[in-house]
Structure formats: structure tokens, C-alpha cells
Chain A
């Protein structure tokens, strides 16, 4: 079994196509939409949690690429700029996935990027703008 979170970029022409649905129907993959929106440039952006058998997963990804969807792994999307972060902790209650955690001993904030669902809530609320989006 593979269990991965990925970011899909849909070009404008594919935004209204039932592409994700085919992942379940044709490739027996299960998905969870963590985030979806259409950018001002009318590109569709979707953060998916995708799981299924390894070979199905691979084929599903190939299918997406073949129709023109760009795919990237999630973990590299949100990065904390360590020199900017002051460890204040105001992001901790904002993060919906528990990826930002205050260490009760050191009083420093840990960023567990494997838990991050790239909702980007922290990106704008961090006063030091230490949470950065890297596409």
C-alpha cells in the first residue's frame, strides 16, 4: 500500500473534467481532497491524499501526467525559514494538522513537514513570514 500526499496542478482546459474521479474508478485508488482552488490564472490546484496498491498508484500518477496534470510531492511545498522564525508559537493553534508544535521544554516550535497538509494558513499569519511556499 502506498499512502502519499501530492499537489496537482490542472491547466485551465482540464479544470472542469472529472479526472480525480477516474483515479477511483479506473485505478482503485482512494483519495481525500485536502484543498482545492482555482487560481486567478484559472489553473486548478488540488492537494490530495492518495492511497492504494503500489502499482495502481504508479499507473494513476501516469494517467494524470498523460492528460497534462502536473504533479509534485507535498512535503517540499511549505518550508520554514529557520533564520526568520522567532519561535513565538502564534502559528501553533492556527495549524489544523498539528504540524507546528511548541516544545514545552525548549519553548521552540517544531515543524513536522510530514504532517503538513499545505493549507498555507500559517504562511500569512506568521508575523515574521517565516513559513514559505516553494512550488
Chain B
């Protein structure tokens, strides 16, 4: 029907028709697949939620005299960074915590500040405090460095997240009789609330369930700037059960993404604190889906009432690694504010901001319509549904003996 190259020609001429993943649903209902497929070139998706496997690497520039941070110890605003690289490269992970944070010693821990907050401050253009020690060598004699850093002075600052953008996610409840504090938020006893974490019908991988357009090299909206899909994300698990519409009804594919932090904005990369759990980074991602044919439009047109997920107990089953669902619900039900479980109404809360996901899809649409964002052809596919690629638990083998 149309190729990415043809879409890009239309973007350059200002003739492209882009709509959001939300708008397309109504459009297809009104006009039918065939007609909409001939009219719409691109559908934009969006998601904004906590994504723990995120981080930033920097090159801070060489000092005079030189210091080799590699193998030494580096902290930014008291948060430890990873320094197992060359002289001036470091990586800070979203969930890293200052050594002196009490963690869960005072239960539930508050986790007020960590790597994700450092990342948000750096993106916001604030000065941060770097303290480093090194062992000193003949070529890198210096052993100590204390300085303020600002993003504008760094050689490179790159967001590189090894797992983002989960294709679908669990709904968490608590079957026990005491309150629990999880990465899915605070869960009240006896199924007092049910928390979910997805943008549903706006979420990128739910709209391209078989990864027919999203692949390695796909250009995306990342943290308010431009990024790319670098790889499939860790724990990518494409072979899970799917509905007839192809959409997985439990967590499945994931993306590893990369992009220039210098273009990003703090409102799309937000440090968050999960009570009793830790610090994480809420990341905004938007992926354009080229409507290459009617089949792809068919996937994109699925609404919240056609996308399902599983309810999981986080008091016992999840922590013990026991599989099993307490029930299946649609995102339309989740979004209504309550779901019915075991004959009872349970109020729902989302950790992922739907209104922000919507703004991302709108923003990306605007970039495309204004000619500021061209699509890319993926250079390689993500491991597919039938690839046999799967997610395994660790088989522990005792040490020693």
C-alpha cells in the first residue's frame, strides 16, 4: 500500500496524514479499515511510566593532570555511579541510591533521592556534584576529583535504557491481610486496590503486537528528544499467549532504547520514589507506526476494550515466583476506575500517566505533520512471536563443593 520511503516524501512535502493511536480507533470505527488505510500514513503512540532499567552514560572530559575514573569510585550528588570503563566515562543507573540512604531499615523506606533524580536534575540543566577517587597510574597520576558538572559541558550525555516500554503489564493486587509496598505501588490488604501500569491503547508495542514495523533502528520520541530502538529489551518474551487480534494478554516484548540526553526535557524524564521499594525513572516514549497496509492498521485500531491483561497477587505469588492469574481484565475496565474480582469491586490506579502518554503521541504527531520528524526503516527485526526467543528464570547452581 505504501512504503516508509513514500511516507517520508509526504512528510517532507507537508502532505503527510498522522493521527494518534487514540484518534485512529474512532476513525476506523467510523470509516472502516479500508478507507482509513488509504487516508492515514502514520499513527503515533506514547507511554509515560516508571522504567527501572534506565540510565545515562557520560563522558565528563579529561582533567589536567589526568585522572582515570575506570576502576575507581565515582559519585554524583552522593549517588554511586558505575566506573568500570576508561578514564572519563561513567554510567549512572536510575535505581542507584546514596550509600547513606536508610533503604528499608525504616520500613517502608521513603527513597527520596537516587539515580533517577540525578538524571532529572542533569536534564533540567542543574549543576551536579561529582566526587571521584582513583588509584593513580603513571599516565593518569591524579587520585582525587571534586567538581560541579553541567550537562552543557559534558562531551556526551546519552540515555541508554536496557529495558523500557513493556508490551503489556500485570495488574497487581494484595491477597494478604497486611499492607504491602511494591514497585506496583502501595497495595492494600484483601484486594483493597488494584494497580496497573500501561497506557493501554496508546502504548507502542500493544499497537504493533508482532513488531512488524518497530525494529532495531526505529526512530522514536525519547524523553522529549529523539532516540532510537537499540535492541530488543532485556526479558523480551515474544512467545506468550495472545488474543485473536494478536495482542499479548500478559507482559511480552520490550525495547532497549538510546538517545541524546542533551535534547531531552525533565518533564519527560522524571525521578520517582516508590514507597518501600526504591527510586526509579519515569520515561516518556513515543513510537510512530507507519501504516504500510491494512493489516498494520487493523492492529493499531484495537481499543482498550480489546486489550487484556492478568491480575497477579503481589503478596505471595509474585515474590515467590509462582505463575498464575487471578483473572483477566481489559484496559477499558481498568480505566473505568474499578474492576470486579472474585465478585468484589476493586478500585484501580495507574502508575503510568495516560494523559502524559496522550501528550507524547500528540507531540510526535505534530513533529511529523510539521516535517520535523522523518521515519526510519528498521535495520533488523526484534525477535518475533515464533522465533523461539524466550525469557528464563535463573537456574541456581550452588557455589563451591
Check if B353 sits within 8 Å of A89, measured CB to CB.
yes
B114 interface hit (Cβ, 8 Å): no
B110 to A: closest C-beta gap in Å:
7
Instruction: Please determine whether A87 and B353 come into contact, CB atoms closer than 8 angstroms.
Output: yes
In this assembly, does A88 line the interface, its C-beta being within 8 Å of a C-beta of chain B?
yes
Give chain B interface residues in 154-207, CB to chain A under 8 Å.
Answer: 185-186, 188, 192-195
Query: Would A128 and B270 be within 8 Å (CB), given that A93-B193, A107-B355 are in contact?
Result: yes
Stretch at the interface among B82-90, B244-252, B342-350: B342-350
The interface bits of chain A over 92-121 (1 if a CB of B lies within 8 angstroms of the residue's CB, else 0) are 111000000010101110000000000000
Q: Is B256 an interface residue (CB 8 A)?
A: no
Q: Which of B1-50 contact A (CB under 8 A)?
A: 48-50
- Interface segment, one of B70-78, B130-138, B271-279: B271-279
How many contacts A-B (CB < 8 Å)?
70
* Minimum CB distance partner of B280 in chain A: A127
Q: How far is A74 from B282 in the complex, measured between Cα atoms in Å?
A: 32
Q: Mark A27-71, 1 if CB is under 8 A from B, else 0.
A: 000000000000000000000000000000000000000000000
A80 to chain B, nearest CB (A): 14
Let me know if A89 and B186 touch, CB within 8 A: no
B110 in complex: contacting residue of A87, A89, A92, A124, CB < 8 Å: A124
Contact in complex: B349, A87 (CB < 8 Å): no
A128 near B272: Cβ-Cβ < 8 Å: yes
Contact between chains at B347 and A127 (CB < 8 Å): no
A129 near B355: Cβ-Cβ < 8 Å? no
Q: How far is the CA of A106 from the CA of B350 in the complex (A)?
A: 14
Q: Is B112 an interface residue (CB 8 A)?
A: yes
Q: Of A87, A104, A107, A125, which one neighbours B185 at CB under 8 angstroms?
A: A125
Q: A107-B354, A107-B355, A124-B275 are in contact. Are A129 and B347 (CB under 8 A)?
A: no
A86 at interface by CB-CB < 8 Å: yes
User: How far apart are the CA atoms of A129 and B114 in the complex, in Å?
Assistant: 14
Name A's interface SS. Answer: loop
Chain B residues with CB under 8 Å of A8's CB are none
Determine if A129 and B352 form an interchain contact, defined as CB atoms under 8 angstroms apart.
Answer: no
B351 contacts the other chain (Cβ, under 8 Å)?
yes
Q: Please indicate the chain A residues that have their CB under 8 angstroms from the CB of B275 in the complex.
A: 124-125
| Residue of A86, A90, A91 ringed by the most chain B CB atoms within 10 A | A90
By the criterion CB–CB under 8 Å, are A90 and B351 in contact?
yes
Given contacts A86-B282, A108-B355, contact A91 B270 (CB under 8 A): no
Do A92 and B337 touch (CB < 8 A)? yes
Interface residues, chain B, with chain A CB atoms under 8 Å away: 48-50, 108, 110, 112, 185-186, 188, 192-195, 270, 272-275, 280, 282, 335-337, 347-356, 358
A–B Cβ pairs within 8 angstroms, 25 of them: A86-B270, A86-B282, A86-B356, A87-B354, A87-B355, A88-B49, A88-B351, A88-B353, A89-B349, A90-B195, A91-B349, A93-B192, A93-B193, A93-B194, A93-B195, A93-B349, A94-B188, A94-B349, A104-B335, A107-B354, A108-B355, A124-B110, A125-B275, A127-B351, A128-B282
Which positions in A face B, CB cutoff 8 Å?
Answer: 86-94, 102, 104, 106-108, 124-125, 127-129
